[in-house]
Amino acid sequence: MAHQQAHDEKLDALLAAAARVFAKRGYHETSMRDLARESGVSLSGLYYYVKSKDELLFLIQDRSFAAVLASMEEAIAGIENPVERLARFIDNHLDYFASHMAEMKVLSHESGALSGDFLSQVNAKKREYTRVLMDILADVERTCGAAHVNRRIATYTLFGMMNWIYNWYDPLGDLSVEVLSQSICRLFLGGYVGMPVSESVMPHLTAG
Amino acid sequence: MAHQQAHDEKLDALLAAAARVFAKRGYHETSMRDLARESGVSLSGLYYYVKSKDELLFLIQDRSFAAVLASMEEAIAGIENPVERLARFIDNHLDYFASHMAEMKVLSHESGALSGDFLSQVNAKKREYTRVLMDILADVERTCGAAHVNRRIATYTLFGMMNWIYNWYDPLGDLSVEVLSQSICRLFLGGYVGMPVSESVMPHLTAG
DNA sequence: CCGGGTGTCGAACGAGCGTTCGGCGTCAAC
DNA sequence: GTTGACGCCGAACGCTCGTTCGACACCCGG
């Protein structure tokens, strides 16, 4: 049926427009009237495609996360070397982030705006995504030797490095995603399993 | 005058209560009625201490940032070794973050909620804080040799590691701030100026 | 005893919110 | 040519929002 396809395409356009506005103004500061104006549909027309404002946010977050998950699984599929798996995980994350800045900012910054079943569904994807990274880190440790920091700290810290970029990174600026991806990879791996900083220059760190 | 002091103390208590609610529910989702209920003052009573909801958020952000700045300047004062200055910068940031979780979450997560003069004032402090870190990194490079990644990327990435903690860290859990601070310091320094990961295990990173 | 500043409050205002409802045109199916 | 689903809309509803206003108790200097 061509009807269904046209319907889906319009819904996709709606979600994309909504993600743009949510990313700029924030979810709660954005009214349904704002979204209607921005997407060229009437206020009540929005409700033909979406049950509520909550569901709108959920659809943006759930679809984005599903896309990141699928893209990540394809990126690391068949790769054996744990360090390369990690590099691809990071690269995929940043690459998707940079090319879907609005959706990913909404996903990162508006994670607390959902509740109930919507929240559970998104959190399930988040937990799976996190688990994959932690498993990779465990493999990296087996290959490169004992890590220098607790794996849980390393995991969340790495997510911090990557997800914080919505606060400063401009995909259209003169800093390419490749450079950014390599930099974060280097930064993280050097600290996680690389040679430790010598004690002579950093006495404070070995005291505890 | 004892009047003035009592007034200030009540305002402080008000701001602390507001920061708690803002941190839990978010700025825009929190109503002045919520704040009144939570702080034991009537709705209109709030406006005796504060001109508007915007000013309330501004006061929380501005005072917190001023406190972090002052604490940081004291922490690095008199320290010559750049690496130790960096370690103290990180430690101060995380220590203050962990002991003022609500205010710092509001500062990090609600940075886009202000506008106009309020925004400019907070941004001025933010720029100064960032500049201090970048200057330290420049000194670190002079001491430890060329950095492995661009300084601007390193700066924002380090802030990402540190500020992201409001998404996962529980100051009352079994992970101490000391361990967290040392971990992030190690993680960052190892990747920024430490021995690079050997090419044999990470061919992909040296390709570009 | 009295007058004015201080701290607090209940009640109300206008505006904007998310959502609903009834209806209207279009177009393919019969 | 009639029917009914589809896509879409204007108008309205009930509610909550930030903010204001007038008033009331309290306390301290005169």
Inside any domain, residue A128:
yes
Inside any domain, residue A107:
yes
The pLDDT value given to residue B146? 80
Residue B1: band (very low, low, confident or very high) from pLDDT cuts 50, 70, 90? low
**Over chain B, what is the mean pLDDT?**
90
Q: What is the DSSP letter of A173?
A: S
Distance A2 CA to C27 C1' (A): 14
Minimal CA separation from B48 to chain A, in Å: 26
Residue B199: band (very low, low, confident or very high) from pLDDT cuts 50, 70, 90? very low
| pLDDT (average), residues A181-198 | 77
> In the predicted model, is pLDDT for residue A201 greater than 70?
no
Inside any domain, residue A36:
no
Q: Are A201 and B143 a contacting pair at CB < 8 A?
A: yes
A with B: how many residue pairs have Cβ under 8 Å apart? Answer: 182
State pLDDT tens for residues A49-82.
999 999 999 999 999 999 999 999 999 999 999 9
Inside any domain, residue A79:
yes
In order, the DSSP letters of B126-180 are: HHHHHHHHHHHHHHHHHHH-S-SS-HHHHHHHHHHHHHGGGGT--TTSSS-HHHH
Least confident piece of the model among A3-7, A78-82, B179-183: A3-7
Q: What is the pTM of this model?
A: 0.91
Instruction: Measure the CA–CA gap between A169 and B183, rounded to whole angstroms.
Output: 25
Whether B188 has its CB under 8 Å from any CB of chain A: the answer is yes
Q: Please tell me which of the candidates B143, B175, B190 has its beta carbon nearest to residue A194.
A: B190
The token pair that represents B16 in the structure block: 């602390």
Q: Is A201 within 8 Å of A118 (Cβ atoms)?
A: no
Phi, psi of A115, deg, nearest 5: -155, 170
> In the predicted model, is pLDDT for residue A28 greater than 70?
yes
Inside any domain, residue B75:
yes
Instruction: Measure the CA–CA gap between A172 and B95, rounded to whole angstroms.
Output: 35
Helices A116-144, A151-163: crossing angle, 10 deg rounding: 120
Q: Are B205 and A180 a contacting pair at CB < 8 A?
A: no
Minimal CA separation from A71 to chain B, in Å: 19
Inside any domain, residue B207:
no
Minimal CA separation from B101 to chain A, in Å: 16
> In the predicted model, is pLDDT for residue A33 greater than 80?
yes
Inside any domain, residue B165:
yes
Least confident piece of the model among A199-203, B55-59, B170-174, B181-185: A199-203
For A69-78, the CB contacts below 8 A with 24+ separation are: A69/A125, A69/A128, A69/A129, A71/A96, A72/A129, A72/A132, A73/A132, A76/A132, A76/A136
Q: Domain range spanning residue A129? A: 53-195
Instruction: Count other C-beta atoms under 10 Å from residue B52's C-beta.
Output: 12
Angle in degrees, CA A69, A75, A76, rounded to 5? 95
The token pair that represents A9 in the structure block: 């395409």
In order, the DSSP letters of A20-54 are: HHHHHH-TTT--HHHHHHHHT--HHHHHHH-S-HH
The pLDDT value given to residue B144? 87
Residue A60 maps to which CATH number?
1.10.357.10
Inside any domain, residue B208:
no
Least confident piece of the model among A13-27, A33-47, B191-205: B191-205
Residues in B 34-53 whose C-beta is less than 7 A from nucleic strand D are 34, 43-44, 47, 51-53
The pLDDT value given to residue A3? 66
Instruction: Measure the CA–CA gap between B88 and A90, rounded to whole angstroms.
Output: 29
Residue B197: band (very low, low, confident or very high) from pLDDT cuts 50, 70, 90? very low
3-state secondary structure B18-40: HHHHHHHHCCCCCCHHHHHHHHC
Count of structural domains within chain A: 1
